[in-house]
Structure 1
């Protein structure tokens, strides 16, 4: 494919996704518009690009990815209906070291998600009354330190990442 053909294929802004890429090796940047991974592969062929930034034009979703596999997974997640918050959450899981890549982060999130993040008091109260189903007589409720219970649980058995609390086992 010559440069003119490449430019025509890559410049169709009516496509679903906008990919910004830059090759530090060749000091060259480009924008590629594509609808799906097959479309992208058809456009770029074997071109090796070092850093990726993808934006779903219709979904208004943005994500940094470090390799082609993460880009492919990000596109799949967007097509499955995941939103920016999901992609950000999966990226945080990778950043915190709980998963090596986005695919593993999605699986880890699904396997370990416990509840949405909440303050220590609410979390302690939730664990004791909703999860453990301990019925505390009203006369004793003022003597239970729900905040400390929630704080200890987050330290020992759970981890907070982004907007979620996860099992830490």
Structure 2
């Protein structure tokens, strides 16, 4: 069985497993626990499993995954130097339904990120004054409800996930 076949077999959503990652002073390891060892045997057949440790990764880096493709992507993200906040954000994008898998999360983030999260008031002020989304005569600027404008914009045209505001179009 090659890695592709293994990944396809392991992506069967009827197989229940739990992944546990650990680190002992810059050593990194993965434990995979199957609810039913028969599931593991069905997936790997007579394939040999090689266990290894990768040195130099961050301690206390965790990510819950529900299939082996996401596991592979999570390991790649960690190896690329992403921090826990990035992993949490990418997982939130998947869980919120903006992407189907972790592989697409970074690209979606890069394409749709509008700005860092801020209060409704600050966001309304930012849209009006920094981006000039609406031209407001100077005499009327004191009457603008920036908080309501920012809140409405977040509801209609943007979405807040983690510490970022994303374009919703």
The superposition leaves residues 1-43 of structure 1 with CA deviations (integer Å, 9 ceiling, x where unpaired) of: xxxxxxxxxxxx677422121111128xxxxxxxxxxxxx961
TM-score after normalising by structure 2: 0.70
User: Greater strand share, 1 or 2?
Assistant: 1
Structure 2 unmatched ranges of 5 or more? 1-23, 39-47
Following superposition, the deviation at residue 87 of structure 1 comes to 0.4
**In the comparison of the two structures, how many residue pairs are matched?**
135
Q: In the alignment, which residue of structure 2 is the partner of 1:140?
A: 140
Matches within 5 A, 1:52-63: 58-60=57-59, 61-63=61-63
TM-score w.r.t. the length of structure 1 is 0.70
- Compared CA separation, residues 57 and 64, structure 1 to 2 (3 A): farther
Which consecutive residues of structure 1, in runs of 5 or more, have no partner in the other structure? 1-12, 28-40, 45-55
Q: Structure 2 CA distance, aligned partners of 1:57 and 1:137?
A: 57
Counterpart for residue 33 of structure 2? 22
Rate the CA distance shift 1:105–1:133 in 2: closer, same or farther, 3 A.
same
- Return 80-89 or 17-26, whichever deviates more: 17-26
Q: Which moves more between the two structures, 60-69 or 89-98?
A: 60-69
